[in-house]
Amino acid sequence: MNGVRIPLGDWVSDGLDWFKNAFEWLLEFVTLVVGWLVEGLADLLVSIPFAALVAVFALLGWLVRSWQLAVGTALTMLLIVAIDQWENAMLTLALVLIAALIAVAIAVPIGILAARSDRFSAVIRPVLDFMQTMPSLVYLIPAVVFFSVGFVPGVFATLLFSLPPGVRFTELGIRGVDSETVEAGQAFGAAPRRILRGIQLPLAMPTIMAGINQVIMLALSMAVVAGMAGADGLGKEVVAALSTLDIAKGVEAGLSVVILAVFLDRVTASLGKPGSRASSLLGVLRRRRGARSAAPTAPAL
């Protein structure tokens, strides 16, 4: 209006170009590794007969929650097969799982550091706010600039969009641990790292699992956006249906995304729910591992 314009967008564009040229070797390495992970998992899931995978998913639902979830999982997964979206669903599942695993691997350590340092928490909080409020489609710009098209930009955009809840919930869970419990561990001479592993993380696990649940849900919500970046799967089907106004294809692909989302939501929610069958199984496994580590070794002759 007054003739003064700040070329902020040009500065960001120049910065992205500089980063791409300066760290081209790093971007090529990331492309190679992430592409290998996603394509390898996708090929594995697609190569397994659908009946075997449906049985595995149903068994997982029964183990972590109930027979009702097992039956519902089997029926809904068979519906994906019946509408001929099984291969696309497995491609999307591979992308979501790899992106979620990378996001959790980054988010949990950052959340732990934020819980231990108020200064770092104050610095990282506005960054997380920025990441959560940025429209999801904007993440495609640096993703495509850095990694061209395919699975890798889809993973990159999904990772950026789904990362903040993992950091926030991890920090919230560790900060919510009773201070008297931590002080009791300190009174017994436990090191900070042991207190973190033996007290804070186990007590904060329900909250952390809630964060992981949100990470997976946001990752699935980015499936359509990943399709715009050229990633094969249900997102690409939705984009194709939108461009051709193919209502049937759009409904089938969208319904498949919903089925995957409900299944992953129920499984991860059960893993973090205290008193659930999944929590009991995890507790048994932890006790057995602790018993094996504490078992006395035979004296050397």
Boundaries of every domain in the chain: 19-48+83-275
| Greatest Cα-to-Cα distance within the chain, rounded to the nearest angstrom | 89
CA 232 distance to own-chain centroid = 18
As a CATH number, domain 19-48+83-275 is 1.10.3720.10
At 11, the amino acid letter reads W
Q: CA angle at residue 170 from 57 to 269, to 5 degrees?
A: 25
Burial 223-257 (b: 16+ CB within 10 A, else e): bbbbbbbbbbbbbbbbbebeeeeeeebbebbbbbb
Asked whether the predicted pLDDT for residue 296 surpasses 80, the reply is no
* Closest listed residue to residue 219, CA positions, set 261, 183, 189, 248: 261
Judged by average pLDDT, the poorest of 6-20, 212-226, 263-277 is: 263-277
Check: pTM over 0.85? Answer yes or no.
no
pLDDT tier at 282 (50, 70, 90 boundaries)?
low
Judged by average pLDDT, the poorest of 100-114, 235-249, 267-281 is: 267-281
Give the span between the Cα atoms of 268 and 229, in whole angstroms.
27
Give the span between the Cα atoms of 258 and 160, in whole angstroms.
21
Contact 80, 129 (CB under 8 A): no
At 220, the amino acid letter reads L
The single-letter DSSP state of residue 198 is I
Give the span between the Cα atoms of 77 and 57, in whole angstroms.
9
Count of alpha carbons within 13 angstroms of residue 228, beta-carbon side: 17
pLDDT tier at 274 (50, 70, 90 boundaries)?
low
Contact 93, 45 (CB under 8 A): yes
Identify the burial level of 191 via C-beta atoms within 10 angstroms of its C-beta, where 0-12 means exposed, 13-18 middle and 19 or more buried. exposed
At 244, the amino acid letter reads T
